[in-house]
Structure 1
Amino acid sequence: MGCAVSVYRVGGNKKQLKIPLVTILVPSIRAPINSNFQKPLKGLVPKDLADRLTSFRNQIALLAQQTDVSAVPELLHSLEEYLPLLIGLTDQELGFRDLIEFKWKSVDERQEICVSDSWFELLSVVHMMAMLTLMEANSKLIPNQTVTTEELESTDNIRCAVDLLVKAAGYLQFCLHKIVPQIPPHIKMKLPVDLQENVLEATYIQALAQGTEMQLASAVESKNATLSVKRRLACEQLSYFGQAHYCLSTCQDLNGYGKKHLSFIKWKYLEAKAAAYYYHGLITDKGTEPSCHISAVCCFLAAEEILTESKKACLNFCLTVPITRAPAAWGAMKHLNKKIPETAAKKSQMYGYLLEQEKDLEVLPDLPEFELSLRADEYELPDKDVAWESENWMIPNQTLKTHLTDDEEDEK
């Protein structure tokens, strides 16, 4: 798998001079390898159609060599233009599904894969669209790899990041539910780790989790957001990251990059858990019974302990290869890094006598469960390109001599 080290380089030809900053993790990036569709499609489809397929795919491969995130919009546009043509190769009635070998590589160029199945190509293309969209979301929060509090906490940037996250989740959801079921078992077994179902699902849920994290950041900065709203968002974020962690941890073949992905989700899970206990403690403390105050103190102390663990998890994530940097605390965590220890110390002193008197009530309460509210954008494939209307094709007959000459030209 590619990873956050490639957040600001889509291709892998230039060395990265700076350790990249990560707010939104991009767990993998792969790019197509230059190809020529003329030979496998010769005599089956018009030459100009095979040329267009080759041209669009090779344009994507070329753009993927760009090292700046500014290339992402053009790359996404090229992928979207390629899709209507690619869809024709998946049409069962046309029968071209397994005629072409599709080659892809990870951006670090350590792993190549070649599969003769157009549904694999479709999966790779839509997955790449999802990863590029996550890259774009990260760039909205960390433009040019230089970060300030103002940039991270810009309402417009956060809103844009949420929109991109649910869009990326939509691509990944489509991969899971519409494309992967079309791929036969013997090919699924050959798929790289980042295209396997558990990892796709974990990344899809992670996108929603980080979207909820952005919503909580906005709520913390809003004067109108109530404690109940903040608690709900923190609890939802916790649920999403918990699900993502479960999906990823059940994957048997996690490589180095997969472990980096897992360490990121663990870090974010702990942050969300600390926030959820803190806000739950504030709400519980509004009760008038001694048990309410004792439960609140338990929540604050738990939040403080989990916050300490989250900082260790953040360091572990940053040091897991490939090395990355996390931005300075921002949003909810910028506020909570200070408030949680202060509140835990203050409330422990205030209600210390109750803790001594009612030791049997000193039990950490369960966090409330909420219906998860953030949903992925629905994604649908474009219509098949009209060039695939085979009744309009005019394919000239070839003599054996012409066919052999063409083969020699293809090999040059």
Structure 2
Amino acid sequence: MGCLVSTPSDSGGTRRRPANVGEIVVFVPGLRIPKSSDFSPLQPEGLSSDLIQRLSALQTGIVLLADQEMQTASKSKKKTATRHGGSTQADLQQPLQPYLSMLLGLVNDGNRLEHLVEFVWVNQEDDTEKTGMSSAWYEVLSVLHFMAMLSLSEANALLLPKTTTDGYQPKISEDSKRNSVDIFLKAAGYLDCAIQNVIPRLPPDVRKNLPVDLTEEVLNALCLQALGQGAYIQLGMAIDSAKATLAVKRRLACEMVKYWQQAQENIMNVSLASYWGDKHRLFIKWKYAEAKAAAYYFHGLILDETNTEKSHAMAVAALQAAEEFLNESKKASEQFSMAPPQSSRNPPLWGATKYLYERIPKDASCRARTNNELHSGHENFTEKAPPLPDFPVALKPDDFSLPSPDASWNLKGNMRKEQIGETRSQF
């Protein structure tokens, strides 16, 4: 079906080591950006020149904006504000849905046009990672992935602490936190649509040769990551709220554990022999450990409210587990920061992370000391960490559906008159 795959291993090129990527709150793999396609193979198929030109113009606009974003990022010493989240990012989102509508016309005619045009994408951070395929469904999948990564980039820009005019420590506004949750759900919606509605429609040879960034397992991991980070923001807001109970905080933390556990299960099944792949695994490892630290911490506090000897011992065990997972998350965070491509520095602690770093060691030590005093002279009062409660997850991906093919895809209206006559004469 005209499938072409070009990767560093088969092109023989020397792979360029990605540069420093700036501050990271939300992990975004190196963006895959499109290259211009040759749409001339569509001309003999009876499509009007206007339709072909429109399809080409939409893609060209996206390519130019993506190249502009890449050039701006490469010149910026502090890349985070421009790369993955600058003004170009908003401009890039605008033409992508109209382009999707035009693309879907290529797959809406019994696959007659699906394999006529080759679509090529390259990795923004490493241009030897290049994949071209003659499949319109591959292009639809790539566009949905691109939309999701741009959304995650936007969330990263929102969640970097900003310096305030009053001279206080950099902080994140409440509006930015709330908006980031909506953006996480939107990104998850794009990825869920790709998994449910596009991957199953790919021809077997295309699906087999997909770049690792577009495999179902990686898309699932990214979708779950977006939901997990949305739950993290909600937990941080609950911690800051005087009205939120311990039960609410524990539930949010336990939901985080589920998202990150599933993300890790997906990413561990993929061979990610790349800098970005290794860094992605470390990010999920870090956030999974952090989620377990939060869940065991709030679970321990709730257990400690029950005034029995056994519940106090279980609370101590839960808080000790929280401290162990917190230390594990700190180690994974350092590994993530140092793994190539390196982050310039870790952003200042904020939100739930700052709270957990401050409270878990103190409360774990205090409860353990109190428990030892209460059980002085007794043996075998130490408990294993109790199981966490099992709550159904609340955050779901936004309901994003593939748009209908653009109205200009009317076969009769787009077939040249002379070709209609030739078609009729054949019968």
Flag whether TM exceeds 0.5 (same fold): yes
Corresponding position of 1:120: 138
Corresponding position of 1:76: 93
The letter of the residue matching 1:282 is L
Paired with 1:150 and 1:242, the residues of 2 have a C-alpha distance of: 33
Paired with 2:394 and 2:248, the residues of 1 have a C-alpha distance of: 12
Corresponding position of 1:103: 120
Residue of structure 2 aligned with 1:34, choices 36, 46, 50: 36
Q: CA RMSD in A?
A: 2.2
Q: Note if contact 1:43-1:395 (Cα within 8 Å) is conserved in structure 2.
A: no
Residue of structure 2 aligned with 1:281, choices 283, 291, 300: 300
The reply to whether residue 337 of structure 1 matches residue 357 of structure 2 is: yes
In terms of mean alpha carbon deviation, does 281-290 or 326-335 score higher?
326-335
Corresponding position of 2:318: 299
Which runs of structure 2 are paired with 1:18-29 in the superposition (5 Å)?
19-29=21-31
Determine what percentage of the aligned residue pairs are the same residue: 40
Q: CA deviation at 1:295?
A: 0.9
Q: CA deviation at 1:370?
A: 0.5
The reply to whether residue 317 of structure 1 matches residue 351 of structure 2 is: no
Paired with 2:341 and 2:163, the residues of 1 have a C-alpha distance of: 16
The letter of the residue matching 2:147 is M
The letter of the residue matching 2:39 is F
Q: Note if contact 1:355-1:362 (Cα within 8 Å) is conserved in structure 2.
A: no
TM-score for the superposition, normalised by structure 1: 0.88
Residue of structure 1 aligned with 2:109, choices 83, 92, 114: 92
Which runs of structure 2 are paired with 1:13-412 in the superposition (5 Å)?
19-65=21-67, 66=69, 67=72, 68=82, 69-93=86-110, 95-108=112-125, 109-142=127-160, 152-324=171-343, 325-353=345-373, 354=375, 357-395=378-416, 397=418
Runs of 4 or more above 6 Å deviation = 143-146
SS in 2 for 1:103: strand
Distance 1:19 1:386, change over 3 A: closer
Paired with 2:365 and 2:62, the residues of 1 have a C-alpha distance of: 56
SS in 1 for 2:332: helix
Paired with 2:194 and 2:399, the residues of 1 have a C-alpha distance of: 12
Spell out, residue by residue over 1:254-288, the C-alpha distance to the aligned partner (whole angstroms, 9 max, x if none).
43211110100000111111111111110000111
SS in 1 for 2:408: helix
Q: CA deviation at 1:76?
A: 0.5
Instruction: Structure 1: give runs of 5+ residues left out of the alignment.
Output: 1-14, 399-412
Distance 1:297 1:221, change over 3 A: same
Q: Note if contact 1:22-1:326 (Cα within 8 Å) is conserved in structure 2.
A: yes
Q: CA deviation at 1:81?
A: 1.9
Instruction: Structure 2: give runs of 5+ residues left out of the alignment.
Output: 1-17, 73-81, 420-427
SS in 2 for 1:105: strand
Distance 1:77 1:174, change over 3 A: same
Q: Aligned pair count?
A: 383
